[in-house]
Amino acid sequence: MNSQFQHSMMPQTTHDELARQNFMQSLSVHINRQMASNNKKIYENVAKPNFEQKHQHPPQNRHDILQAMQDQSYYRWWSILKRFQQEMMWESVGSSVERQLPELIIKAKNIQNQIGSLTLDPNFKIPAYMTEVDIHCMPGGYHTEIIENDLAVGAIYDRGVFVYGRGWLGTLNDDMGHSVIQNYLKPNYPNFKPQKILDMGCAVGHSTLPYIDAYLDAEIHGIDIGAPMLQYAHARAEALNKRVNFSQQNAENTNFPDGTFDLIVSHILLHEIPTFAIKNVMRECYRLLSPGGIMIHLDAPLYRHMDAYTAFISEWQTLNNNEPFWSEMRDLDLTAIVTEAGFSSEKTTEAFVLKHSCKTPNRSQPEKTPAVSVRPTWFAIAAQK
């Protein structure tokens, strides 16, 4: 696994803090590889035959498989351990950030010769769907502020994403942005030169920054609901010498004028918001795009792209990991939602986009057919106005 890039805003770990984080990564590998493969064996050899005997037919979908598996002691132990690891992973990062939070805040406040901007709204109301749970069990979710100029959840997210993913998003956690650019936009729109780009739900800007180097003449904007996320995002971008205009806004209803942007992107935003919000976001994208402008929203594949067992494992996120809209979003007809927002069906596309472009930037084509189980892909819904 690669080491995370150490920009000047990155929380520094002591020996013991790093050891805890490394252990959380190792435990994750054990849970998601060794134990997960045993789960599949138990399903095939025990739970599935029992279900067939009881119901006189095999499990038909993820719900049937859950019914078959939920009383299996090994599955329950795997599930408990997986949830425990998620909580302890955030704790291993959070305690490190808390120790040095005053220093990080001072660093952010004392940035010299800023090239980007940060606009926060003191009257901003966080949507209720973001405050009801700590999303993906991260304490404080995307928005919680405890002290003035708080950026703790941003710092936790920056380090935590790397620990959680064991570095698979690259040393700057920026693989999603690179994947959209290298494996979708560049191959499909080689002459596209957007002048204004918006990243919706940008968090700390992991996926935002690749667009700066890909489209050198573009003005880049990133919006998010969380002030501490944006505080950190701005400081991080400045530390990396990247110009971004960050602002605290809800992607459902922004303050930008009609037709402002040539390109609108999001990276794993859709599964964090409910259906009504997704519909609002698509309508807002249509309003904000200039004629000929493009939007692309990247996420994990939908349930209809998966076999029933893979869908069952995926749904664990909703049932046990504080991802309330994970399954809701994966059951949607996103193409229908996009066309209802105003985009034509002829210019609306679903695509599978290869991952790991931060490591292999020369891959040229998006994946055209589902291949969830055999090669790493993102799912994307895209449209041109």
95-107 pLDDT tens trace: 999 999 999 999 9
DSSP, res 224:
E
Cα separation, 50 vs 206, whole angstroms:
46
pLDDT at 371: 42
The mean pLDDT value for 327-339 works out to 98
The mean pLDDT value for 275-289 works out to 99
pLDDT at 356: 79
Helix, strand or coil, per DSSP, at residue 311: helix
Chain mean pLDDT for the chain: 94
> What is the DSSP code string of 45-65?
IIIHHHHHHHHSS---SHHHH
Cα separation, 352 vs 98, whole angstroms:
39
pLDDT band with cut points at 50, 70 and 90 for residue 361? very low
The mean pLDDT value for 37-65 works out to 97
Which residues lie below 8 Å from residue 22, measured CB to CB, with a gap of 6+?
A: none
Name the nearest CA neighbour of 379 among 267, 288, 289, 293. 267
119-135 pLDDT tens trace: 999 999 999 999 999 99
pLDDT band with cut points at 50, 70 and 90 for residue 364? very low
Give the gyration radius of the chain's Cα atoms: 21
Q: Give the distance between the most distant pair of CA atoms in the chain.
A: 71
* Sign of torsion over alpha carbons 296, 299, 300, 302: negative
Which residues lie below 8 Å from residue 216, measured CB to CB, with a gap of 6+?
A: none
Global pTM?
Answer: 0.94
**Can you tell me which residue has the tokens 């067992």?**
309
Cα separation, 278 vs 251, whole angstroms:
9
Sequence spans of domains, the chain: 163-384
**Can you tell me which residue has the tokens 């990991």?**
321
pLDDT at 357: 73
Helix, strand or coil, per DSSP, at residue 203: coil
The pLDDT of residue 276 is above 70: yes
Helices 227-239 and 152-165, packing angle to 10 deg: 70
One-letter amino acid at 363 equals: R
8 A C-beta contact, residue 9 and residue 108: yes
192-219 pLDDT tens trace: 999 999 999 999 999 999 999 999 999 9
> Which secondary structure element, helix H or strand E, spans residue 245, and what is its range?
strand 245-248
8 A C-beta contact, residue 382 and residue 297: yes
CA triple 376-138-357, angle to 5 deg: 25
Which region among 178-187, 290-299, 368-377 has the lowest average model confidence (pLDDT)? 368-377
163-384: CATH topology is Rossmann fold (3.40.50)
The pLDDT of residue 367 is above 80: no
The pLDDT of residue 366 is above 70: no
**Can you tell me which residue has the tokens 């929203």?**
297
pLDDT at 266: 99
pLDDT at 376: 79
End-to-end CA, the chain: 41
Strand order in the sheet with 261-267: 117-119, 245-248, 219-224, 196-200, 261-267, 289-299, 377-384, 348-354
Name the nearest CA neighbour of 11 among 102, 141, 136. 102
> Which secondary structure element, helix H or strand E, spans residue 70, and what is its range?
none
Name the nearest CA neighbour of 296 among 177, 173, 140, 205. 177
Helices 62-69 and 48-55, packing angle to 10 deg: 100
The mean pLDDT value for 221-234 works out to 99
pLDDT at 205: 99
288-315 pLDDT tens trace: 999 999 999 999 999 999 999 999 999 9
